[in-house]
Amino acid sequence: MLHHQDCTTQMVAVNILYDVGSRDEAPHRTGMAHLFEHLMFEGSLHIPDFDTPLQEAGGENNAWTSNDITNYYDVVPCQNVETVFWLESDRMLSLSFSPKGLETQRQVVMEEFKQRNLNQPYGDIPLLIRPLAYRVHPYRWATIGKELSHIENTTMEEVKEFYFKHYAPNNAILSVAGNISFDETVRLAEKWFGPIERREVVRRNLPQEPPQTQPRFLEVERDVPADMVVKAYHMCGRMDEEYHPCDMLSDILANGRSARLYQELVMGRKLFSEVNAYITGDRDAGLFFVTGKPNPGVSLQEADEALRGEMQRLSQEEIREYEVQKIINKFESNDLFSNINYLSKATNLAYHEWLERAENINTEVEKYRAVTSARLKKTASETLVEKNCSTLYYRSKQGR
């Protein structure tokens, strides 16, 4: 249990992070972790409706799922905080496993899959690029899942098995922040979560993705307004020493209008209407994305060549000191503001505890400050190279 007292607010945030994500799914039954993000609100052993008691207590809640974790949070006035402990402990104890609830949430998730990934322009890019970049690791499918049939055919037995394997007190991190004392937090945690017995949590034995040694390429044609180039480079995992240099390189390329890609390829050479660069930040070895939508008249090959040129610049030229300092300053500012709010504090504490230890929340800035221009150049030369890259040409039918 993690605690942070903030007497400047009259609210309390209760955050529960479960160490389960899409990487814990079977290849033939993907999308389960995301399905559970919804199912956990469908009623638990003693509480048929999760949302109504919380709303009557003046609270609100939400959840999100990633490749690695599923995170739930509730915000409530401090005088009503016990309501949250009661609600969260009951759905950790057991869900109701109602056939009607499963069917309802199954349909919700399937509609979300259709809306976001099948019917939305560019929505199927994650479904295309991940299996191109990954061959064996379960990051090869998106959090939403590989295909609709995996959720459509999920049985109640499979749902129960997944729940009792992963949703357990010994596979969760409770973080509480806001106007509540440490002693009161301990009392409520022991009262509501203490009686829940530990479960036999599955030990991970995930296949490790082998190094990519040759460029990979895929081209598709879709009914979208403009072409798009998507480049995915393999990078290290979240706890690797190279994570922070990779994060900084993505910001040097595409953090705002003063960043390199925008200045060089949008404003300067006018090759693109949009450019971006970002990292996935996964626990295991993740991906470094560089994307762009070429302007009319610019071929996908020309656009790709321009992006490759910017990657080569990073690995061949010394990055200017002011660029490095600008990124460090931005991170320092973002880190400061993200930890002011009590809800963000609760979430960030749980996340760092999951990574290693909650106290590391205080040393993240130092890790960025320690990165030098020479280190960035070295990381770029090892990571942002074509043999380590999977490239998707997403061609517009309208451009034909």
Contact 95, 44 (CB under 8 A): yes
Measured in whole angstroms, the distance separating CA 338 from the mean position of its chain's CA atoms is 16
Which tokens is 21 given?
Answer: 């994500």
CB atoms within 10 A of CB 47: 15
Contact 26, 184 (CB under 8 A): no
3-state SS, one letter per residue, for 59-79: CEEEEEECCCCEEEEEEEEHH
Provide the residue-wise pLDDT of the chain in tens; the chain has 400 residues. Answer: 999 999 999 999 999 999 999 999 999 999 999 999 999 999 999 999 999 999 999 999 999 999 999 999 999 999 999 999 999 999 999 999 999 999 999 999 999 999 999 999 999 999 999 999 999 999 999 999 999 999 999 999 999 999 999 999 999 999 999 999 999 999 999 999 999 999 999 889 999 999 999 999 999 999 999 999 999 999 999 999 999 999 999 999 999 899 999 999 999 999 999 999 999 999 999 999 999 999 999 999 999 999 999 999 999 998 999 999 999 999 999 998 888 899 999 999 999 999 999 999 999 999 999 999 999 999 999 999 999 999 999 999 976 5
Which tokens is 242 given?
Answer: 């190279």
In 3D space, the residue among 60, 141, 154 whose CA is nearest the CA of residue 105 turns out to be: 154
- Tell me how far apart the alpha carbons of residues 180 and 184 are, in angstroms, rounded to a whole number: 7
Sequence-ordered list of residues with C-beta below 8 angstroms from that of 243, at least 6 positions apart, any chain = 235, 236, 237, 281
C-alpha distances out from residue 258 to 247, 251, 340, Å: 17, 10, 27
Sequence-ordered list of residues with C-beta below 8 angstroms from that of 95, at least 6 positions apart, any chain = 39, 40, 42, 43, 44, 45, 163
303 membership: H or E segment, kind and range? helix 300-316
What are the two backbone dihedrals, phi and then psi, of residue 7, each rounded to the nearest 5 degrees? -85, 0
| Beta strand 2-5 pairing with 172-178 | parallel
Burial class (CB in 10 A: 0-12, 13-18, 19+), 26: exposed
Alpha helices in 63-178 (DSSP H): 81-93, 99-113, 125-133, 148-152, 156-166
DSSP codes of every residue in 45-59: SS-S-SHHHHHHTT-
pTM of the model: 0.95
pLDDT confidence of residue 400: 56
Sequence-ordered list of residues with C-beta below 8 angstroms from that of 372, at least 6 positions apart, any chain = 324
DSSP codes of every residue in 170-237: GGEEEEEEES--HHHHHHHHHHHTTTSPP--PPPP-PPPPPPP-S-EEEEEEES-SS-EEEEEEE---
Buried b (16+ CB within 10 A) or exposed e, 64-77: ebbbbbbbbbbbbb
Q: Give me the sign of the Cα torsion angle 1, 139, 129, 280.
A: positive
DSSP conformational letter for 118: I
294 membership: H or E segment, kind and range? strand 287-294
Angle (nearest 5°) at CA 274 between 234 and 400: 95
End-to-end CA distance of the chain: 58
**Helix, strand, or coil (residue 25):** coil
Q: Which amino acid is at 209?
A: E
